[in-house]
Homo-oligomer: A and B are copies of this chain.
Amino acid sequence: MNKPCIITLTTDFGLKDPYVGMMKGVILSISPEARIIDISHQVEAGTISHAAGLIQETCIFFPKGTIHIGVIDPGVGSDRRPILVRTKDHFFIGPDNGLFWPIIKSNEHADIIHLNKDEYFLPRVSLTFHGRDIFAPVAAHLSRGINPLKMGTIITDPVQLLLPVLQQHGDILSGQIIRVDNFGNMITNIRRKDLDKHMGADQMAVKVGNLIIENVHETYAETEEGELLALIGSSECLEIAVNLGRACDQLEVAPEELVGMKVEVEKKK
């Protein structure tokens, strides 16, 4: 027996509806040994960029050969293509709507396959639930060793995702909040290596909305309880946190307006 193959799931289905259970049933019916791992089903409905980040951040921790299904699919039923992306280490299956663009962009030799061989789909494909009818069965067949090149046609024009880019103006590097986590930490798209490159060893101050933080720490423990701080978080990105508190509550901004807010890092004179 080979090592059982791992299939991860990232969706915006929530956990109250039958949709996730149906996908698991489809996978196990085709590939009884597959091991299904939930990444999250609580992506906010239709937020492709959030899910793209989740998949990109988590996939690197999984073993070679893992299959990652992503179903954030507001265009289901239109002519958007179902795709499979094969990188050196992993497989990604889902809609061609930008969800896997960060993966494709950071894996130069990725193969992108338009899934158009319906013998690997469920016998009846609905127009509203390709997660169950296309992506789950394709992943299950793949986990059993079917060559992905048999499942469709290579394409070279995947849909791109407009990702926020950093901007440098003099001594100021600007990025934005890309995620607010369960602890109220605000994670930005400014990575440690961006700071190293643009700021060097200089002291920095961080500004977001009405908040100014006078330097970047290594750990919560360097600060007092309740103190606002900026630090490089576990995904190597700058984040704004409160030691034993919720940083996001300190911005005078509605929760739904946090993602996308500008964050500035400035060299201290």
Q: Which residues of A pack against B, CB within 8 Å?
A: 1, 3-4, 6, 8, 12-22, 24-26, 28-29, 32-33, 35-43, 45-46, 53-54, 57-63, 66, 74-79, 126-129, 132-133, 179, 181-183, 218-222, 231, 233-235, 244
Contacts and interface: CB of A to CB of B under 8 A. Distances in A.
Contacts of A132: 61, 234
Given A40-B16, A78-B219, A220-B76, A62 B182 contact: no
B16 A233 contact: no
A26 B61 contact: yes
Contacts of A133: 234
A7 to B, nearest CB: 12
A16 to B, nearest CB: 5
Contact of A128 (B21, B60, B220): B220
Main DSSP-derived SS at the A contact region: loop
Contact of A14 (B28, B61, B182): B182
Nearest to A129: B234
A42 B16 contact: yes
B32 A63 contact: yes
A58 to B, nearest CB: 4
A28 B22 contact: no
Given A18-B235, A77-B222, A128-B219, 7 more contacts: A18-B40, A18-B54, A21-B38, A21-B40, A24-B37, A25-B37, A61-B132
